Structure 1
Amino acid sequence: MERHTIAPRPDWQQIVEQQGVIYPLTRHPDDSLRPYWDESAYYSFSLPEVEALEETVAELHAMCLAAAGHLVEHDRLAELGITDPRVVRAVTEAWHRRVELPSIYGRFDLRYDGTGPAKLLEYNADTPTSLVEAASAQWFWMEDRFPGADQWNSLHERLVHAWRAQAKLLPPGVPLHFAHSSADELGEDLMTVAYLKETAEQAGLDTDWLTMEEIGWDTLSGRFVDNRLRFIRAIFKLYPWEWLTTDSFGGHVLDTLDNGGGTGSTLWIEPAWKMLLSNKALLAILWELYPDHPNLLPAHLDGPRDLADTTGYVAKPLLGREGDGVTLHPPGSPAPPEPEDLCCYQALAPLPAFDGNHVVLGAWVVDGEPAGLGIRESSGLITDSYARFVPHVIL
C-alpha cells in the first residue's frame, strides 16, 4: 500500500459530475471550497494485499452475522439501545426471516497501513454512502490514467447481480420504489439512490422514486402511498432505521411491516435486522465473542475499562454518522464527563498517516460478498464530513 501524487485531469470536476459525483467539492468552516473527490493523489496495492483484504472482509461479515444471531438468541437488543418492544419484535422477526428479505449492501470501515492485519473500525450495513465514487468514478479515473491496470472494484456487476438474484423476494407486479431524504443538501444521498436504482433497472426491475418526505399515508386502506397515490409495496430507503421507527409515521411502518411473512404491506430495504449491524455496540459484542481476534480492536459498552490507561480509547455514540460525537482519549488522559448518549468504547488505534493524510479503507460487501474498495483521507484522526475520497489501483 503506497500513496502517490499525480496531476489531476484538466477537466476533472466536470468529468466526475457527469459520472454522478455531483458533490466534488466540500465547503469548509472557513467558507472555502476544497475537493471532496481528490485525484491529486492515488493509492496503489499489490494483488496479494487485496486478496488478503478480501478474505478479511469475508470473515468479518460472517462474524458480524454470528454476532447478530447471538444478540437475538440471547435477547440482548437493549444493549444496542433497542428497547421499544415493537421495534425489538420487528428486528427479531426480520432476523428469523432474513432469507426471505432482500438485503443488498454494506460497508466496513477498516484501519490498514499495509504492514499488519486490517482492524475493524465500524460496519455501516444500513445506509452507507460514497458508493457512486467507489463503484463508478474511480473506475473511469483508472481507465483514463492507468489503462490496463486493475482495481478492487466489482461493485457494479455485483449490485446488478444482487438485484437480479433477489428479485424473487420482491412483491410481483409492482414497482420497487427508491427513496432518499430531501434534507440531503449535497446530493450524495440522492445520487447514491439514483445509482442503486439504475443497477436495479439493469437487473430488469421496474422502479420508481420519491423522497421520504413525499411518502403518503392512506388512512382508508392503512397503506403507504407514493406521490401518484399508488400503494408502496416495496421500497429501498437511504434512511436510517432508527429514524424510520421514531419519526411521526414510525407506528405505521411497524404496523404494515412486511418481514417476509406476507402479512404486511410494505417491504423495506435494507431490512430491519440490519439495525443489529449498523450499531456501534456490535464492536463490543464482536470483541466479547472473538477476543483477541487479529482484525478486531478491544471494545466495551460499560466504559473504557483498562483501555483508559493502556492504549487509550475512542468513545463512539452507538448511532453516530460521519464522526459525529466521536471523541478520542489518549492513555492517561483525564476522565471525560459522562456522555449523554450510549457509547461504545473502542481501543484507540490512530489512523495511519500517508504524507500527513489520515486514511480509512471502506471495504464494500454486496449480497454478502466482498465487492470493492473506497478510500477516504482526513486531516485529523476522525473521518468526518470534511474527508476526501481518493482513488486506488492494483499494480
Structure 2
Amino acid sequence: MEAASAQWFWMEDRFPGADQWNSLHERLVDAWRTQASLLPPGTPLYFAHSAGDELGEDLMTVAYLRETAEQAGLRTEAISVEDIGWEGLSGRFVDKRFRFIRSCFKLYPWEWLVTDRFGPHVLDTLDNGGGTGSTLWIEPAWKMLLSNKALLAVLWELFPGHPHLLPAYLDGPRELARTTGYVAKPLLGREGAGVTVHPPGEEPILRDEPCCYQELAPLPDFDGNRVVLGTWVVEGESAGLGIRESAGLVTDEYARFIPHVIL
C-alpha cells in the first residue's frame, strides 16, 4: 500500500509533474482482470487478515488489495482469519454466515496456517486452480518455500560463488565466523525478528532454533541511515520500487518507508 498508493500521492503533492518508478496500482487491477477467469465462478473472492494485528497494518493492506480487485470487477468479501470456520458435514471452509469459501486471498503466513487447528483441512481441500479441491487460496501454498530462509543456504550450495548470492549455511557459520562475520536468521522469521549480528573474530554461536547463518554484508551507511531497495513484481514483471530505511544493521518492523521521485 505504501509503495502503490501513499508515495504516489506524496509525489503528486510535493513534486507535481515529476515521475516515479511505480505502476503498481494499474498492474494489480490488470492482474485481477487476467486472473478472474481462473477463480471459482459465482462466489465472492474473500480477503482475509488476522484480527491479531494490533497496529492495523495488515487490515489496511488487505483493504487496499480488495479495492484493486473490485476495480477489476470482482465481487469480494472481507473476513478475518479467525472467523473462517470448518463445516464438518460438507468438508468445506465457511464464513460466519456458513457460506462456502471457494476462494480467498489471505495476508497470513502459510507456515502458520498449516500448523493451525484446521491446518490439515487446508491441505486436504486445496484447490490449485484446476477445481480439484474446494478452496483456492491466494497466494498459493508453494510460496511457503520462498519465505523460508533455508532457501538461502540451498541456493548457495547449488550455485557456490555466484555474484548475486551470499555464503549461507544451515549447520553453523563455518568459516564466516573468522573471516567476514555473519548474521543468524531464524528460518521463519519476519521483518528482522530474531536476527543477530556477529562481527568477524567472535566465537561462533549455534542457536537452539533452526537458523540460516549468512555472510555479514552491512548495508551502506548514509548519515546514519541504512537503506534497502525493494522491487515489486506483478505477473512476472517489475512494477515499482519501495525504499525502507533503518538506523540499525537489521531492517526491522520499525524501519521507515521512504518515498522516491524521478526528477
Q: When the two structures are superposed, what TM-score results if normalisation uses the length of structure 2?
A: 0.96
Tell me the equivalent position of 1:361. Answer: 229
Tell me the equivalent position of 1:380. Answer: 248
Matched, 1:297 2:184: no
Tell me the equivalent position of 1:106. Answer: none
The one-letter amino acid paired with 1:385 is: E
Offset at residue 339 of structure 1 (A): 1.3
Tell me the equivalent position of 1:196. Answer: 65
CA offsets 1:232-279 (integer angstroms, 9 cap, x no match): 000000000011000011121122111234221011110001111111
**SS of match in other structure, 2:40:** coil
By relative contact order (CA 8 Å, sep 6+), the higher-ranking structure is 1
> How many aligned residue pairs are there?
263
Matched, 1:257 2:134: no
1:1-395 equivalence runs, <5 A:
132-336=1-205, 338-395=206-263
Point out the structure with the larger helix share.
1
- Aligned residues of 2:39 and 2:129 also touching (Cα < 8 A): no
Instruction: State the alpha-carbon separation in 2 of the partners of residues 298 and 159 from structure 1.
Output: 35
**SS of match in other structure, 2:191:** coil
Q: How many percent of aligned residue pairs carry the same amino acid?
A: 80
**SS of match in other structure, 1:364:** strand
Instruction: State the alpha-carbon separation in 1 of the partners of residues 226 and 119 from structure 2.
Output: 38
Q: When the two structures are superposed, what TM-score results if normalisation uses the length of structure 1?
A: 0.65
**SS of match in other structure, 1:393:** coil
The one-letter amino acid paired with 1:231 is: F
Instruction: State the alpha-carbon separation in 2 of the partners of residues 312 and 294 from structure 1.
Output: 18
Offset at residue 350 of structure 1 (A): 0.7
- Aligned residues of 2:106 and 2:138 also touching (Cα < 8 A): yes
Offset at residue 353 of structure 1 (A): 1.4
Unmatched 5+ stretches in structure 2: none
Instruction: State the alpha-carbon separation in 1 of the partners of residues 21 and 73 from structure 2.
Output: 26
Offset at residue 290 of structure 1 (A): 2.8
Q: Give the superposed CA RMSD.
A: 1.2
CA offsets 1:372-393 (integer angstroms, 9 cap, x no match): 1111111211111211111111
**SS of match in other structure, 2:253:** coil
